[in-house]
Amino acid sequence: MANHTPLDIEETTSTFPLFPFLSPELRLKILHFALEKPGIITLAARDHRLSILGTPHPLLCTSFESRTEAMRLKRVYSTPTPDVSSLMLNSEMDYLFLADEKTVSRVLESNMTLQSPDNGTLGSKLRRLAVPLTTFESLLRAQPSLWLRDLFRTFPNLEEIVLVAGEASVEVLTRDVEFVMPRERNIPRKGPLVTLCEERFHPWRAFAHLMGAEMMEDAVGNWVVEKHAANGEWKVPKFRIRELRLSGSKK
């Protein structure tokens, strides 16, 4: 048996040229596994229009077979307006990340009427949304009732809203990223979100430095229920506080 150094092993496992020779059933299982991970599609307002940051899913350009499966699981939304020409995502699994406050405003103004081939709109189908935590706090400070009302009218079936802590550089936003629990340094210790948390959990008012991401998530969720969805008009999503990390990175 031939001996292999770690470098040899790494080089021989970085590609799998025998994949096309596997049985069709096994190939499909592998492709489905690769497509099961929720993607993060970033929209950013640039030069008076919305732009999609990042690169398409690699399976869209790997082979005809992989592209066919990717297209089957992800739907293309398009619009004739000068903004986003097309947007491909799985509306039940993928996250739409609105990069900043300007982008949030542009999306809510447009009412997100991107159409899919079956005439469904992205706004009505989207289940997972993400916005920067700083944007959420800014809007919370300025016009909490108005912007949340518009948000839930634009995306009435949201199941999860991720508040993205920390700074996300353009380099990160244009690469393959994932959501992870925020590091301690990225959990806010002052500002509108902390104030909201203190109002929701009075006994903790004197211990703001102990407030973790989970407590803040509960505070935001309970506040939304009480203030904006108590009448049952909207489906109330779960709130999460996360930060972005390059996929596969351990830092």
**Rounded Cα distance, 139 and 102, in Å:** 11
Lowest mean pLDDT among 16-20, 53-57, 182-186, 218-222: 53-57
Interhelix angle 133-142/192-200, nearest 10 degrees:
70
Question: In which element (H, E) is residue 105 found?
Answer: helix 101-110
> Taking residues 206-221, what's their average pLDDT?
88
Give the type of residue at 23: S
**Rounded Cα distance, 237 and 162, in Å:** 10
Q: What is the DSSP letter of 183?
A: P
pLDDT one-digit tens code per residue, 123-154:
888 999 999 999 999 988 887 777 888 888 88
Domain ranges for the chain, please list them: 23-185+233-246
pLDDT one-digit tens code per residue, 5-18:
454 444 445 577 77
- CA nearest neighbour of 75 among 117, 37, 33: 117
> Taking residues 216-244, what's their average pLDDT?
86
Higher pLDDT, 196 or 204: 196
Q: Write down the pTM of the prediction.
A: 0.80
Position 141 scores a pLDDT of 86
pLDDT category, 76, cuts 50, 70, 90?
low
